[in-house]
Amino acid sequence: MPQVAARITHDQEKWLKEFFKTKSAGAEFILPWAVDVFFRCIRNVSNEFSVSELKTVLEAHREVKLLPNQSKQAYLQLRVEEACDERGAHIQHGASKSNLEVKLRRLNDLQATALMIWATSYWTSKSWNGVSLDDYVKLSCG
Protein backbone atom coordinates (compact mmCIF):
# COMPACT_ATOMS: atom_id res chain seq x y z
CA MET A 1 0.00 0.00 0.00
CA PRO A 2 1.41 3.44 -0.91
CA GLN A 3 2.49 5.64 1.98
CA VAL A 4 1.09 9.11 2.61
CA ALA A 5 2.62 11.60 5.01
CA ALA A 6 -0.08 13.91 6.33
CA ARG A 7 0.20 16.80 8.74
CA ILE A 8 -2.30 16.60 11.55
CA THR A 9 -2.84 18.56 14.73
CA HIS A 10 -2.09 17.19 18.17
CA ASP A 11 -5.83 16.90 18.81
CA GLN A 12 -6.29 14.90 15.62
CA GLU A 13 -3.40 12.64 16.55
CA LYS A 14 -4.90 12.13 20.00
CA TRP A 15 -8.28 11.32 18.47
CA LEU A 16 -6.79 8.74 16.09
CA LYS A 17 -4.96 7.06 18.98
CA GLU A 18 -8.11 7.02 21.13
CA PHE A 19 -10.54 5.70 18.52
CA PHE A 20 -8.29 3.23 16.73
CA LYS A 21 -5.78 0.65 17.87
CA THR A 22 -2.94 2.83 16.59
CA LYS A 23 -2.52 6.19 14.90
CA SER A 24 -1.51 4.40 11.70
CA ALA A 25 -4.55 2.14 11.81
CA GLY A 26 -6.75 5.21 12.20
CA ALA A 27 -5.09 7.02 9.33
CA GLU A 28 -5.34 3.92 7.11
CA PHE A 29 -9.08 3.85 7.77
CA ILE A 30 -9.87 7.57 7.67
CA LEU A 31 -8.11 8.54 4.45
CA PRO A 32 -9.77 5.98 2.13
CA TRP A 33 -13.09 6.57 3.90
CA ALA A 34 -12.79 10.33 3.36
CA VAL A 35 -12.02 9.83 -0.33
CA ASP A 36 -15.05 7.56 -0.71
CA VAL A 37 -17.27 10.07 1.11
CA PHE A 38 -15.97 12.86 -1.13
CA PHE A 39 -16.77 11.01 -4.37
CA ARG A 40 -20.20 9.92 -3.15
CA CYS A 41 -20.95 13.44 -1.98
CA ILE A 42 -19.79 15.18 -5.15
CA ARG A 43 -21.85 12.79 -7.31
CA ASN A 44 -24.97 13.53 -5.27
CA VAL A 45 -24.39 17.27 -5.00
CA SER A 46 -23.50 17.76 -8.64
CA ASN A 47 -26.87 16.30 -9.65
CA GLU A 48 -28.54 19.27 -7.94
CA PHE A 49 -26.79 21.83 -10.16
CA SER A 50 -26.90 22.61 -13.87
CA VAL A 51 -23.73 22.55 -15.96
CA SER A 52 -23.73 26.36 -16.10
CA GLU A 53 -24.05 26.57 -12.31
CA LEU A 54 -21.19 24.10 -11.81
CA LYS A 55 -19.04 26.08 -14.23
CA THR A 56 -19.82 29.21 -12.21
CA VAL A 57 -18.70 27.43 -9.02
CA LEU A 58 -15.52 26.37 -10.84
CA GLU A 59 -14.89 29.94 -11.95
CA ALA A 60 -15.35 31.15 -8.37
CA HIS A 61 -12.48 28.91 -7.26
CA ARG A 62 -9.92 30.11 -9.77
CA GLU A 63 -6.77 31.02 -7.80
CA VAL A 64 -8.33 29.96 -4.48
CA LYS A 65 -6.28 28.08 -1.93
CA LEU A 66 -8.69 25.92 0.03
CA LEU A 67 -7.98 25.75 3.76
CA PRO A 68 -9.59 23.27 6.18
CA ASN A 69 -10.86 26.02 8.47
CA GLN A 70 -12.67 27.60 5.51
CA SER A 71 -14.41 24.40 4.48
CA LYS A 72 -17.90 25.59 5.25
CA GLN A 73 -21.00 26.41 3.28
CA ALA A 74 -20.69 30.12 4.14
CA TYR A 75 -17.27 30.32 2.45
CA LEU A 76 -18.60 28.64 -0.67
CA GLN A 77 -21.47 31.11 -0.85
CA LEU A 78 -19.11 34.03 -0.33
CA ARG A 79 -16.69 32.92 -3.05
CA VAL A 80 -19.46 32.37 -5.58
CA GLU A 81 -21.14 35.65 -4.69
CA GLU A 82 -17.85 37.54 -5.10
CA ALA A 83 -17.14 35.85 -8.45
CA CYS A 84 -20.59 36.80 -9.69
CA ASP A 85 -20.52 40.37 -8.39
CA GLU A 86 -16.93 41.19 -9.31
CA ARG A 87 -16.36 39.15 -12.48
CA GLY A 88 -19.85 38.27 -13.73
CA ALA A 89 -19.04 34.53 -13.52
CA HIS A 90 -22.70 33.56 -13.66
CA ILE A 91 -23.25 35.67 -16.78
CA GLN A 92 -20.12 34.25 -18.40
CA HIS A 93 -21.43 30.71 -17.92
CA GLY A 94 -25.15 31.39 -18.40
CA ALA A 95 -26.30 30.66 -14.85
CA SER A 96 -28.98 32.36 -12.82
CA LYS A 97 -27.32 33.96 -9.81
CA SER A 98 -30.47 33.80 -7.70
CA ASN A 99 -31.12 30.10 -8.48
CA LEU A 100 -27.49 29.26 -7.76
CA GLU A 101 -27.61 31.11 -4.43
CA VAL A 102 -30.72 29.17 -3.39
CA LYS A 103 -29.06 25.85 -4.22
CA LEU A 104 -25.86 26.78 -2.40
CA ARG A 105 -27.83 27.76 0.72
CA ARG A 106 -29.37 24.27 0.81
CA LEU A 107 -25.98 22.58 1.12
CA ASN A 108 -24.60 21.45 4.43
CA ASP A 109 -20.92 21.98 5.26
CA LEU A 110 -19.90 18.51 4.06
CA GLN A 111 -21.60 18.97 0.70
CA ALA A 112 -20.16 22.48 0.33
CA THR A 113 -16.68 21.24 1.18
CA ALA A 114 -16.91 18.47 -1.41
CA LEU A 115 -17.96 21.05 -4.01
CA MET A 116 -15.08 23.36 -3.04
CA ILE A 117 -12.53 20.52 -3.22
CA TRP A 118 -13.92 19.52 -6.60
CA ALA A 119 -13.77 23.12 -7.86
CA THR A 120 -10.25 23.88 -6.65
CA SER A 121 -8.92 20.59 -7.99
CA TYR A 122 -9.77 21.68 -11.53
CA TRP A 123 -7.37 24.59 -11.19
CA THR A 124 -4.62 22.83 -9.24
CA SER A 125 -4.50 19.22 -10.45
CA LYS A 126 -2.07 18.41 -13.23
CA SER A 127 -4.53 15.76 -14.43
CA TRP A 128 -7.01 18.40 -15.55
CA ASN A 129 -4.53 20.83 -17.09
CA GLY A 130 -5.84 21.81 -20.51
CA VAL A 131 -9.23 20.15 -20.02
CA SER A 132 -12.19 22.43 -20.74
CA LEU A 133 -14.67 23.36 -18.01
CA ASP A 134 -17.38 21.48 -19.92
CA ASP A 135 -15.32 18.31 -20.11
CA TYR A 136 -14.32 18.54 -16.45
CA VAL A 137 -17.96 18.83 -15.39
CA LYS A 138 -18.98 16.01 -17.70
CA LEU A 139 -16.12 13.67 -16.76
CA SER A 140 -16.01 14.27 -13.02
CA CYS A 141 -19.73 14.62 -12.32
CA GLY A 142 -21.29 12.49 -15.02
In tens, the pLDDT along 81-119 reads: 999 999 999 999 999 999 999 999 999 999 999 999 999
What is d(CA 66, CA 117) in angstroms, rounded to the nearest whole number? Answer: 7
Give 29-85 pLDDT, tens digit per residue: 998 999 999 999 999 999 999 999 999 999 999 989 988 888 899 999 999 999 999
Residue 5 lies in a domain: no
Same structural domain for residues 70 and 24? no
Same structural domain for residues 21 and 57? no
Residue 1 lies in a domain: no
Task: Give the chain's domain count.
Answer: 2
Residue 33 lies in a domain: yes
* Dihedral sign, Cα of residue 34, residue 39, residue 45, residue 51: positive
Same structural domain for residues 68 and 134? yes
Same structural domain for residues 61 and 17? no
Same structural domain for residues 59 and 85? yes
Same structural domain for residues 105 and 72? yes
What is d(CA 44, CA 5) in angstroms, rounded to the nearest whole number? Answer: 30
Same structural domain for residues 38 and 107? no
How close are the terminal C-alpha atoms of the chain, in Å?
29
Same structural domain for residues 36 and 57? no
pTM of this structure = 0.87
Q: Which domain holds residue 110?
A: 50-141
Same structural domain for residues 74 and 130? yes
Residue 60 lies in a domain: yes
